[in-house]
């Protein structure tokens, strides 16, 4: 009787089975604690998303009102100081965890075949995470935010050939103005979180599909053997190879 | 798990679209009451009547008598007078056989495939291309700003630098406030001469400060229509320095030390009715000489950090419209 709602949901969607498959899938016996950094990064992102949603209910993205709305959040709104602090420090936590996770994947060789695509997706996620930090930094609209963004955009402008155009595109004009803060807000709140969420979905799908690797000191080798040399053109490779574990390589 | 209520099947009519139309009619009436009653409410009522009738007819189908079978009317066919069509297996194939390696598809389905993809592409374009206007084009168009009237020339003391703040767009407020270092060089051939140096560092855009005392107590302020509140604060700089990364400039804006790649930008100006009017800014490679006799290597306004002269300037052939 206790599980009736879960069974109701499972009969009508199959989702419960999917979640069980994700939570109870097989991983190597010698999986290391360092391999939790990816989940930690995801948690940091979720914290950012949730606190960001709350902040967006009070923040006013206009040059005339942005700073006051932040003051309002910090001083007046119930536990506003806490939500703002979580978001601000959570941003640094997110970036640091991403780098640690990337370093762990690299040092474990977990980017090798067949996980190259997952590594590429991870690099895109890193770039977008840094973009979130860059666009979010301007939003408090104080002196630090303003001048750091001026300098950051102008650094972009020093790239050869297209640099000045990229800088003008970011600024929304020849100089930082009211368009800039709205543009950064839209990128920070809508464009990048959507893209990051989508790519995280792909990243997790690939992790589940490809499996978790053992640490480098493990007796079992990580990655998979490549297909036989010189396969015929219609041989099925990589994930397409039927294997003992239903096509999922170790 | 066993179903809770046994295996009884509900007595529901098969799905149909009439309720949807009915709901649309109701929504139409409600919206019409707010927007334009005399026009839209009758339309909504008509939709309600039509779809309501169709829905009711469907829902009551089980309760009305069965429709009697009527033989369809047939007109005597004229085709019987002509020869009957040959059976399908006689003669050549109506359609060519696919080449070896070609997909075995009927051309019609291929056409539909292409048409669907093409139409999808058109719709995608219709959604995406207008978005590019505000996202990308807007940053590069309408960048010109009008002239800025900074007040009477008499406000600018002879031979001394004045920290001048003004608004490039007074309606936007403080976000459009800019600063320039202005020195009245006196009269020369061609009228009054001013040295107007932008405070935007040529390294990465930080605000350059005067290296010398600033006399805040002697600050003057005027208001003009095009530039909003203009404040003038005398200063006695030995040069200019940037607090961010330590770039140093001399009193003509030439770079003397630090990471900047060129001198400070300047503003074009003219004198109109005894007022100093600021025109567009431009970038400077080097300034030889001082004051009214300065020879300025002009370049179009360039992003901070981009070289304007020397071999590195080949990396920055184009600047976006300012």
The verdict on a CB contact (< 8 Å) between A174 and B320 is: yes
Q: Tens of pLDDT along A87-107?
A: 999 999 999 999 999 999 999
Kindly state the percentage of chain A with pLDDT values over 70: 87
- Is the pLDDT at A245 greater than 80? The verdict is no
Q: What whole-number distance in Å separates Cα of residue A85 and Cα of residue B310?
A: 47
> pLDDT band at B109, cuts 50/70/90?
confident
Q: Tens of pLDDT along B112-125?
A: 899 999 999 999 99
Arithmetic mean of pLDDT over chain B? 87
Assign 3-class secondary structure to chain A. CCCHHHHHHHHHHCHHHHHHHHHCCCCCCCCCHHHHHHHHHHHHHHHHHHHHHHHHCCCCCCCCCHHHHHHHHHHCCCCHHHHHHHHHHHHHHHHHHHHHHHHHHHHCCCCCCCCHHHHHHHHHHHHHHHHHHHHHHCCCCCHHHHHHHHHHHHHHHCCCCCHHHHHHHHHCCCCCCHHHHHHHHHHHHHHHHHHHHHHHHHHHHHHHHHCCCCCCCCCCCCCCCCCCCCCCCCCCCHHHCCCCCCCCCC
Contacts of B1 in chain A (CB under 8 A): 7, 11
The verdict on a CB contact (< 8 Å) between B303 and A154 is: yes
Q: Mutate which of A62, A141, A174 to disrupt the B interface (most B C-beta within 10 Å)? A: A174
The verdict on a CB contact (< 8 Å) between A171 and B139 is: yes
Give the contacts of B233 (CB within 8 A, at least 6 positions apart).
B162, B163, B214, B215, B216, B218, B219, B220
End-to-end CA distance of chain B: 71
The partner residue sitting opposite A157, judged by closest CB among B140, B143, B305, is B305
Residue A193, min C-alpha distance to chain B (Å): 17
The verdict on a CB contact (< 8 Å) between A157 and B303 is: yes
A67-76 contacts at long range (C-beta below 8 A, 24 or more positions apart)? A67/A140, A67/A141, A67/A142, A70/A139, A70/A140, A70/A141, A70/A142
- Whether A110 is in a domain gets the answer yes
Q: What whole-number distance in Å separates Cα of residue A206 and Cα of residue B234?
A: 65
- Is the pLDDT at B267 greater than 80? The verdict is yes
Return the closest-CA partner of residue B240 out of B202, B281, B191, B277: B202
Q: Tens of pLDDT along A173-193?
A: 888 888 899 999 999 999 999
The verdict on a CB contact (< 8 Å) between B244 and A175 is: no
Mean pLDDT of B243-260: 95
- Whether A233 is in a domain gets the answer no
Predicted local confidence at residue B86, as pLDDT: 72
Contacts of B169 in chain A (CB under 8 A): 177
Counted across chains A and B, CB pairs separated by less than 8 A come out at: 81
Predicted local confidence at residue A227, as pLDDT: 56
Arithmetic mean of pLDDT over chain A? 89
What is the token pair recorded at B295? 């020879």
The partner residue sitting opposite A150, judged by closest CB among B139, B206, B317, is B206
Return the closest-CA partner of residue A32 out of A207, A181, A215, A194: A215
Return the closest-CA partner of residue B269 out of B137, B142, B164, B130: B164
Is the alpha carbon torsion for A32, A33, A39, A40 positive or negative? negative
Residue B313, min C-alpha distance to chain A (Å): 9
What is the token pair recorded at A139? 């939003």
- Whether A180 is in a domain gets the answer yes
The verdict on a CB contact (< 8 Å) between A175 and B168 is: yes
Predicted local confidence at residue A244, as pLDDT: 42
The verdict on a CB contact (< 8 Å) between A158 and B176 is: no
Interface predicted TM-score (ipTM) of this complex, two decimals: 0.74
- Whether A27 is in a domain gets the answer no
- Is the pLDDT at B208 greater than 90? The verdict is yes
Contacts of B201 in chain A (CB under 8 A): none
- Whether A19 is in a domain gets the answer no
Q: Mutate which of A171, A172, A175, A182 to disrupt the B interface (most B C-beta within 10 Å)? A: A175
Contacts of A178 in chain B (CB under 8 A): 172, 175
- Whether A234 is in a domain gets the answer no
Identify the closest residue of chain B to A183 by CA–CA distance. Answer: B135
Contacts of A160 in chain B (CB under 8 A): 315-316
- Is the pLDDT at A222 greater than 80? The verdict is no
- Is the pLDDT at A197 greater than 70? The verdict is yes
The partner residue sitting opposite A160, judged by closest CB among B302, B316, B319, is B316
- Whether A224 is in a domain gets the answer no
Predicted local confidence at residue B5, as pLDDT: 55
Mean pLDDT of A131-146: 95
- Whether A223 is in a domain gets the answer no
Give the contacts of A64 (CB within 8 A, at least 6 positions apart).
B173, B174
The pTM is what?
Answer: 0.73
Q: Strands, E, within B27-171: which ranges? A: 148-152, 161-167
- Note the Cα B114 to chain centre separation in Å: 33
CATH number of the domain enclosing A178 = 1.20.810.10
Predicted local confidence at residue B293, as pLDDT: 87
- Ranked by mean pLDDT, the top range of A19-28, A92-101, B79-88 is A92-101
Predicted local confidence at residue A247, as pLDDT: 41
Mean pLDDT of B272-301: 91
Residue A38, min C-alpha distance to chain B (Å): 33
Predicted local confidence at residue A152, as pLDDT: 95
A235 or A80: whose pLDDT is higher? Answer: A80
What is the token pair recorded at B204? 């990465």
The partner residue sitting opposite A169, judged by closest CB among B139, B173, B301, is B139
Residue A171, min C-alpha distance to chain B (Å): 7
> pLDDT band at B59, cuts 50/70/90?
confident
Mean pLDDT of B57-61: 83
Mean pLDDT of B211-225: 93
B101 or A146: whose pLDDT is higher? Answer: A146
Q: Tens of pLDDT along A35-72?
A: 999 999 999 999 999 999 999 999 999 999 999 999 99
* Number of domains chain A contains: 1
The partner residue sitting opposite A165, judged by closest CB among B174, B302, B320, is B320
Residue B317, min C-alpha distance to chain A (Å): 7
Which residue segment(s) compose the domain that A52 sits in? 33-213
């Amino acid at each position: 009787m206790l599980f009736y709602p879960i069974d109701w949901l499972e009969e009508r969607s199959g989702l419960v089975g999917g979640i069980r498959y994700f939570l109870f899938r097989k991983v190597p016996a010698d999986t290391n604690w360092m391999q939790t950094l990816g989940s930690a990064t995801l948690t940091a992102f979720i914290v950012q998303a949730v606190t960001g949603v709350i902040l967006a209910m009070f923040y006013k993205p206009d040059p005339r009102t942005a700073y006051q709305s932040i003051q309002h959040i910090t001083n007046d709104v119930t536990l506003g100081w806490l939500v703002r602090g979580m978001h601000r420090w959570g941003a640094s936590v997110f970036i640091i965890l991403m780098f640690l996770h990337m370093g762990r994947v690299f040092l474990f060789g977990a980017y090798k075949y067949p996980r190259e695509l997952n590594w590429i997706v991870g690099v895109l996620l890193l770039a977008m995470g840094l973009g979130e930090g860059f666009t979010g930094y301007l939003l408090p609209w104080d002196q630090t935010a303003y001048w750091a963004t001026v300098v950051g955009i102008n650094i972009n402008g020093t790239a050869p050939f297209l640099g000045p155009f990229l800088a003008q595109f970011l600024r929304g004009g020849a100089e930082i103005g009211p368009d800039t803060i709205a543009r950064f807000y839209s990128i920070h709140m809508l464009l990048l979180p959507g893209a990051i969420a989508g790519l995280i979905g792909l990243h997790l799908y690939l992790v589940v599909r490809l499996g978790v690797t053992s640490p480098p000191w493990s007796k079992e080798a990580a990655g998979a053997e490549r297909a036989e040399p010189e396969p015929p053109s219609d041989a099925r490779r990589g994930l397409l190879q039927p294997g003992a574990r239903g096509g999922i390589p170790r | 798990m066993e179903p809770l209520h046994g295996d009884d099947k509900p007595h529901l009519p098969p799905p149909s679209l009439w309720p949807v139309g009915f709901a649309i009619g109701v929504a139409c009436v409600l919206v019409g009451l707010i927007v334009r009653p005399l026009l839209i409410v009758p339309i909504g009522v008509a939709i309600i009547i039509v779809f309501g009738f169709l829905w009711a007819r469907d829902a009551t189908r089980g309760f009305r008598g069965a429709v009697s079978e009527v033989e369809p009317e047939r007109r005597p066919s004229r085709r019987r007078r002509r020869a009957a069509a040959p059976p399908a297996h006689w003669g050549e194939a109506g359609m060519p056989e696919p080449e070896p390696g070609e997909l075995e598809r009927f051309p019609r389905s291929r056409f539909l495939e292409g048409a669907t993809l093409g139409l999808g592409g058109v719709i995608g374009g219709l959604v995406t291309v207008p978005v590019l206007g505000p996202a990308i084009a807007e940053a590069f168009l309408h960048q010109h700003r009008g002239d800025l009237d900074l007040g009477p020339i008499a406000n600018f003391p002879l031979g001394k630098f004045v920290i001048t703040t003004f608004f490039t767009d007074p309606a936007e407020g403080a976000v459009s406030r800019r600063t320039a270092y202005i020195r009245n060089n006196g009269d020369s051939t061609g009228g009054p001469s001013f040295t107007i140096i932008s405070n935007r560092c040529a390294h990465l855009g930080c605000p350059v400060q005067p290296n010398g005392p600033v006399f805040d107590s002697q600050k003057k302020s005027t208001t003009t229509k095009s530039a909003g509140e203009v404040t003038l604060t005398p200063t006695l700089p030995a040069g200019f320095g940037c607090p961010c990364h330590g770039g140093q400039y001399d009193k003509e804006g030439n770079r003397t030390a630090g990471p900047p790649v060129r001198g400070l930008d300047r503003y074009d100006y003219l004198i109109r009715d005894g007022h100093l009017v600021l025109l567009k800014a431009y970038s400077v490679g080097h300034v030889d000489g001082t004051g009214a006799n300065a020879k300025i290597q002009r370049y179009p306004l360039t992003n901070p950090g981009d070289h304007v002269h020397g071999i590195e300037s080949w990396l920055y052939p184009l600047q976006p419209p300012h």
